[in-house]
Chain A
Amino acid sequence: MSFRARHLLGIQHLAPDEIRAVLDLADKYVEFNRRSIKKSDALAGMTQINMFFENSTRTQASFELAGKRLGADVMNMAVAQSSVKKGETLIDTALTLNAMHPDLLVVRHGASGAVNLLAEKVNCAVLNAGDGRHEHPTQALLDALTIRRAKGRIQRLTVAICGDVAHSRVARSNLILLGKMENRVRLVAPPTLMPAGVQEFGCEVFDDMEKGLEGADVVMMLRLQKERMDGGFIPSEREYYHRYGLDAEKLSHAKPDAIVMHPGPMNRGVEIDGEIADDINRSVIQEQVEMGVAVRMACMDLLARNLRAERGARAAGVMV
């Protein structure tokens, strides 16, 4: 099997054939999810714990649904509100959980690298559901699946990622994935929201949105992360919308068949015009949500297979 990873911590650690393996399997789960009876036993007997140190509705629901459809026992730990966040360290939380023998741990945390740290301390498969401004691998995979289904391929496309790149883990994971699959990536943002040194990742950098969108196949908008703003990154929301908000005029610089994406939740009238977001001919935002469940099912299925194989090998080793 071409998917060899033990954890899904970031796109950075995946090889192109592993990415393809996820997308191929996810395609099957898309069809599966459209059936009236959507229940598999791929994860039967396994325990999935969702641990979201940052509040999330959409991603957590998507992971929960994915696990349940695959037959896992799914538990949501409300760590964002509980005492876990205050006194106990991340390591202690990990050790406590590990003692309960979960098989899949889905973690979101506000600090970059926190999920990697946790993965070192547990025996189960860990899925990164977003760590700080580092990575959000399932989002990049679902975006790739959406693009592949809309465009028929995930190579040699020009993709413009626009908005708050600096604070966005979605942008980072997408940038890495699209680069690995040999696409042209452009980053469009005001200089205050552009991370340092990104030119060296092999992408083009624009602070003029119209130039950045010129000839793009895919326009990927990012949420303006207001909660992350220390203050003073942009003069005002309305100036931001004027210069970087996606409207019909700016979109006209992209290819006529360019698709519009957004990881959600959207700030209509800040980074995207409401009409564009709802335009069924251009926007694939609802598809992205659908692909999300399928991609997460595929990831968990593949990780569970590797986990079983590893445990089988270990058991065999003990008997010898």
Chain B
Amino acid sequence: MTVFLENARIINPETLEESTGNLILDDGMIAAICSASAPKGAQVIDCAGKCLAPGIVDLGVKIGEPGERHRESFRSAGLAAAAGGVTTIIARPDTSPAIDTPEVLEFVTRRAAEAPVRIHHMAALTKSRAGREMVEIGFMLDAGALAFTDCDHVVTDTKVLGRALSYARSLGALVIGHPQDPGLSKGAAVTSGKFASLLGLPGVHQMAERIGLDRDLGMVEMTGVRYHADQITCARSLPPLERAKANGLDVTAGVSIHHLTLNDLDVGDYRSFFKMTPPLRPEEDRVAVVEAVASGLIDIICSMHSPQDEESKRLPFEDAAPGAVALQTFLPAAMRLYHAGAMGLPMLFRAMSLNPAKRLGLPQGRMAEGAPADLVLFDPDAPFMLDRSTLLSKSKNTPFDGQRMEGRVIATFVAGRQVFGQEGMINA
């Protein structure tokens, strides 16, 4: 079926341009970006001048399958993603059991079919994410794994890591690391400093991230592997990242939307919904990292969607589980950066859609003829108060509960098909 989206403010993350025009979607692709009128028989949708951008490609979403389906299923995650303008989910392998064999990968690939958005999978780098033996990287690549990561488990044995990275390099596989020195960060609940001392919470210094990154970059230089750092959250980590890129290493870096929009003071009176891995940082770090995204030094913004049930969060801060759900709040939270003047919408969507797709070898993320028709139509200025009970994720652990947000998704399209429509605006 042909869909005609007229009068849209078109966001192009490749050219970093905005324009007003119409889109013709045909056969799951963007057939044309034009000023012509609707072709015969097409379904016409009036965008009313609102923004139309490539759908978000979210690198690093935790879904509770297998093992924790009560926290999040592929279906619930998919619905939340569609409502949040996320058209491609790259799922994390930190499940129970971990996605570390082709068989488990086949299982989740089958299960993922019930979601209304595209879902791809990453695989663990080592068996059970235990850091001792590498997984069957070749088989898993053949079975569709887009990248290999032990998530927040750091492979401490550099011999094991070196072999896994060399092997991954021979197959051209992308490895995603979690830059963190596990010795320094052991037991930490917040970033160390005045605030941590005031609350009496165990803290970790920002240097733990920098030391972890330095080590990983050394391993990348040694093996030549394609490497992505999942979250760079400290000002101190930026110079080594910049040097590595200047030296021609095949390195990219990401950051979660929470680290771009919240800081360590938000923890306030032991609010466990603000407990993250790594912990939220002081404002100076947040500002530095936002600038690094705006300059392109940090390539990718992700949601780090981490569903946790109430029981895991309603505990003393130190004992509470880290992480936050974010699929549905990702875009409104990102609009804070836009409204604060940190970067324009094309640059934001370069970091949220184009860059992750490019890094993973996916055709998504582009606003061009012949690109997949995965799109999000949104109003960057629409205000609302977030009520966590309205989230479609099975888990409701969002730090934005009760907060004023600006930016609402109006409609989401995957392969030219509408998978979400804001009530009263566009019917799904």
A-side residues, CB < 8 A to B, are 12, 89-91, 109, 111-114, 116-117, 131-135, 169, 172, 195-198, 200-201, 230
Contact = CB atoms under 8 A, between A and B. Distances in A.
8 pairs of A and B residues whose beta carbons are closest in the complex: A113-B270, A134-B200, A111-B316, A197-B194, A195-B197, A133-B200, A112-B200, A114-B316
A297 B239 CA distance: 57
A197 B206 CA distance: 13
Nearest to A195: B197
Contacts of B316: 90, 109, 111-114, 117, 132
Contacts of B269: 113, 116
A196 B187 CA distance: 16
A200 B196 CA distance: 12
A169 B201 CA distance: 11
Contacts of A169: 200
Contact of A196 (B203, B270, B317): B203
**Max chain B CB contacts within 10 Å: which of A91, A117, A131?**
A117
A196 B196 contact: yes
B319 interface: yes
Contacts of B315: 89-90, 117
Given A112-B317, A113-B269, A117-B316, A198 B197 contact: yes
Contacts of B203: 196
Nearest to A201: B194
B318 A197 contact: no
A135 B200 contact: yes
A114 B198 CA distance: 15
B205 interface: yes
B138 to A, nearest CB: 41
Nearest to B204: A196
A37 B196 CA distance: 46
Contacts of B194: 196-198, 200-201
Nearest to B316: A111
16 contacts: A12-B198, A89-B315, A112-B201, A112-B318, A113-B199, A113-B201, A113-B270, A117-B314, A117-B316, A133-B201, A134-B199, A195-B196, A197-B192, A197-B195, A200-B194, A201-B198
B311 interface: yes
A112 to B, nearest CB: 4
A196 B195 CA distance: 9
Contacts of B317: 111-113
Nearest to A169: B200
A117 B192 contact: no
Most buried by A among B198, B199, B200, B315: B200
Nearest to B318: A111
Contact of B192 (A12, A114, A196): A196
A12 B197 CA distance: 13
A90 B315 CA distance: 7
Instruction: Report, as a range, how many residues of chain B touch the other chain.
Output: 20 to 34
Nearest to B187: A230
Interface of B: 187, 192-201, 203, 205, 269-270, 311, 314-319
Contacts, number: 71
Contacts of B199: 112-113, 134
Contacts of A230: 187
Given A112-B200, A172-B198, 10 more contacts: A111-B316, A111-B319, A112-B318, A113-B269, A113-B270, A116-B270, A132-B318, A196-B192, A197-B195, A197-B196
A132 B202 CA distance: 10
Contacts of A113: 199-201, 269-270, 316-318
Contacts of B192: 196-197
A135 B316 CA distance: 14
Nearest to A134: B200
A195 B197 CA distance: 6
Contacts of A112: 199-201, 270, 316-318
A90 B316 CA distance: 8
A319 to B, nearest CB: 33
Contacts of B319: 111
A197 B270 contact: no
Nearest to B314: A91
A115 to B, nearest CB: 9
Contacts of A114: 316
Contacts of A116: 269-270
A104 to B, nearest CB: 21
A3 B318 CA distance: 31
Nearest to A194: B197
A91 B192 CA distance: 27
A109 B311 CA distance: 18
A316 B304 CA distance: 50
A169 B235 CA distance: 31
A116 B314 CA distance: 12
A196 B207 CA distance: 13
A67 B269 CA distance: 29
A202 B194 CA distance: 11
A201 B317 CA distance: 22
Nearest to A135: B200
Contacts of A172: 197-198, 200
Contacts of A117: 270, 314-316
A174 B332 CA distance: 43
Given A89-B315, A113-B270, A132-B318, A197 B193 contact: yes
A117 B198 CA distance: 17
A109 B195 CA distance: 20
Given A116-B270, A197-B192, A200-B194, A89 B314 contact: yes
A263 to B, nearest CB: 16
Contacts of B198: 12, 172, 201
Contacts of B311: 89
A43 B423 CA distance: 57
Contacts of A131: 200
A196 B193 contact: yes
Nearest to A196: B192
A196 B314 CA distance: 27
Contacts of B196: 195-197
